Amino acid sequence: MADATVNAVTTQAKRARPAPRSRLRKFFERKSTIAFFMALPLILLIFTLVIYPAFYAIYLTTLNKRMTATAWMKNCTYLPDWICTYIPFGNLQFLLTRETFWMVFWQSCLFAISAVIFKALIGFVVSHFVHNVPSKGQRKWRGMLLVPWVIPAAMSTLAWQWLFDPSYSAFNWILAQFDIERVSWTGVAHWARFSVILVNVWIGAPFFMIMYLAALKSVPDQLYEAAEIDGANWWQRIWYVTLPMMRNIIAITALFSTIVTFANFDIVRILTAGGPLDRTHLFATWSFRLGIEGGDIPLGATVSLFMVPILAVAAAFILRDVTRRGNEA
């Protein structure tokens, strides 16, 4: 793209100013040339460290574990010959036939969907409570409620790990006071999944709260007054005034969060490291386990590429929303 731009600009420059005198200098004084050079570091960064690695990941998936040869499929006579012998889907085939992969797939979806729903619900409810409070005190509440988002996720997950600790656990101590049997928070599959989702909701809900609060503030008070005069009850005010006015922000926040949650790594890695028996692995943590710890980079890359379709759908929706609003503005 860099070359193309320079060429395009050069031809333009030639056409506009045929005078040969200091043509090069003229070219460097052009607004678009200066602009291009100002944006050049950004372009280089994106191309070498984001776009190139993304395509390199696709190439990596075609290699075998030692990255010395292509990973062909095995025993695939049930497929058409051109797929079986000519397309290097060995890693993909290996994954799709493994039970763990389907477990991780299901867990990632469960994790992302349930966490985003709960974050959105809690964020919505809390933002209403903050909005209700007189604006003098709002700052204080908002400040307190955003703390989980500010603490680095790795640090707060450590605190949760200690709260969940099986023998000295602060939660189990409370349960013991009520004569309830202690819970193995990170040791049993369904409790471990619950814990991981809980921590994610704890970290992410404040972000939803702040976004929804910003949206609530942008709803004109007259609308509520009009609705109240018309006799709308509390529920009708939310359903017919608040929700339609906030629809955009609700959607875009949820989509953002879906991307981040689906690709989450820190929480599961620290809290359970994927255990017990891979029952909490997500795509990100499993690809780390396979790729970095297991030394099979191609297989890990194949796992992580499974995130792409869902991320692409969410990104497409966000982009549609953002450009649409950009046009309105």
Partner 1 sequence: MTTTTVDKAGPTRARPKYGSMKRDRAWALRWSYFFLSLFAFFFLIPPIYMFITSLKTSAEISAAKNPWWVFNPTLSNYVELLTSPAYIGFFKNSAIVSVSVVIITMLIAIPAAFALSRMRFWGSATLATGVFLTYLIPETLLFLPLFKMFAVFHELTGIQLLNRWWVLLVVYPTLTVPFCTWIMIGYFASIPKELDEAAIIDGASWLQTLTRVFVPVALPGIIAATIFAFTVSWAQFLYPIAFTTSIDQLVLPVGIITTLIKGDVFNWGQIMTGALLGAAPPLIIYAFLMDYYIAGLTAGATKG
Exactly one of 17, 23, 26, 142 binds partner 1 (CB under 8 A); which one? 142
Q: Which residue bears the tokens 């004569």?
A: 179
Our finding on whether 307 is near partner 1 (CB under 8 A) is: yes
**Structure-block tokens of residue 125:** 């409810």
Compare residues 76 and 125 and give the one whose CB is closer to partner 1.
Answer: 125
| Total number of residues shown for the chain | 329
Please give the residues from 106 up to 135 whose contact with partner 1 meets the rule CB under 8 A.
Answer: 122, 125-126, 128-130, 132-134
Distance of closest approach, residue 305 Cβ to partner 1, in angstroms: 7
Listed residue (45, 185, 197) closest to 114, CA to CA:
197
Our finding on whether 238 is near partner 1 (CB under 8 A) is: no
Distance of closest approach, residue 96 Cβ to partner 1, in angstroms: 19
Stretch touching partner 1 by CB under 8 A, among 36-44, 74-82, 86-94, 178-186:
36-44
What amino acid occupies position 125?
V
Torsions phi, psi for 6 (to 5 deg) = -60, -45
**Structure-block tokens of residue 297:** 């980079």
Residues 6+ away with beta carbon under 8 Å from 164: 171, 185, 186, 195, 271
The verdict on whether omega for the bond into residue 276 sits within 30 degrees of 0, i.e. cis, is yes
Exactly one of 207, 208, 242, 274 binds partner 1 (CB under 8 A); which one? 207
Beta bridge partners of 63: 70
Torsions phi, psi for 43 (to 5 deg) = -60, -45
By three-state DSSP, how is residue 277 classified?
Answer: coil
Distance of closest approach, residue 79 Cβ to partner 1, in angstroms: 27
Our finding on whether 92 is near partner 1 (CB under 8 A) is: no
Exactly one of 82, 150, 178, 190 binds partner 1 (CB under 8 A); which one? 150
Exactly one of 153, 196, 216, 241 binds partner 1 (CB under 8 A); which one? 153
Our finding on whether 305 is near partner 1 (CB under 8 A) is: yes
Distance of closest approach, residue 81 Cβ to partner 1, in angstroms: 31
Contact 140, 154 (CB under 8 A): no
Our finding on whether 148 is near partner 1 (CB under 8 A) is: yes
CA–CA dist 246, 238 (Å, integer): 10
Distance of closest approach, residue 188 Cβ to partner 1, in angstroms: 19
Compare residues 120 and 307 and give the one whose CB is closer to partner 1.
Answer: 307
Give the contact letters, 256-285, x = binds to partner 1 (CB under 8 A), - = no.
Answer: x--xx-xxxxx--xx------------xx-
In this structure, how many other beta carbons lie within 10 angstroms of the beta carbon of residue 309? 9
